[in-house]
Amino acid sequence: MCPAWHVCTSGSVRPALSRLAIAILDDYQDVARSSAPWGDLDADLTVFTDHVDGLERLAERLAPFDVLVAMRERTPFGADLLARLPRLRLLVTTGMANAAIDLAAATAHGVVVSGTRIMPGPTAGLTWGLILGLLRHIPDEVGNVRSGGWQTTVGVDVDGLTLGVLGFGRLGRRVAAVARAFEMDVIAWSQNLQPDDARDGGAEPVSFEALLERSDVLSVHTRLSDRTRGLIGSPELARMKQSAVLVNTSRGPIVDEAALVAALRDGSIGGAALDVFDREPLAPDHPLRSAPNALVTPHIGYVTTANYELFYGDAVADIAAFAAGAPVRVLDER
């Protein structure tokens, strides 16, 4: 297995290809074409700006393509779907990890899976936008002004509060650095966190239980895995302060959605700010859309001009390399 960021060759790389049929998936804002030099490729390019669910519909849509470019985990590629795409040779995902792709099944079907670089800054920035938006009731007050009203809420100061960081990697460290600028106390926990690493990042290492009990703002920045799926459920939410708020810009299934909705409705926690969900796009009638004290955004943590240019620019480079029989970036499988 090649480590993340290394350029490696795969045993399933095939000789130089003739004109490729490429599809870009889930380009909601219709910006992929303008974000990278697709014209440099000898290819026919199709861009899908809508999202399609269901094995049959997906298989029918994607069957004509040699190369697919997936935007993060918007479309899952499980073994059943990959088996229905005999023409597929290369699957490029934005980012260097994608829990929605069955890498073993891809290998079994002779599909090379490659990735792109990703910027950590945009998601950390959105995290703070959500924290401040929730604590200072910014969306509510913007709505008041637009409708002709004026002040109706009273905000909460962040200085002096305790930020709990669940997952202290590069994103968690960035969020913690901003918290220190706001004169917040910072505590951190993750399943493999070394105490000295936490202290070096300006955070006090604590137990999982202490993280839940002491945090005024609990921000999730851990990867989704079998160990972290459902990590925060009803028992964990019950340990949090009634005034505390939960922020999740990582992956939806880390938090039990039903338990969170219940906690918001009965007031057992102070609020939640969410950019990620179990199933995306969020259903029109999903209870989180109307839950009290919930600030909800449509998974835009990584959605910036610079990130899209990096994503799609690297995708073009991966496709060009693959077509020439050259090495491509392979995913980090951790």
C-alpha 3: how far from its chain's center? 21
Q: List the catalytic residues.
A: 251, 280, 299
**CA nearest 162: which of 125, 194, 206, 121?**
206
Tokens of 169: 């990697």
Tokens of 154: 């009273």
Tokens of 266: 């009965």
Mention every residue, 6+ apart, whose C-beta is less than 8 A from residue 57.
Answer: none
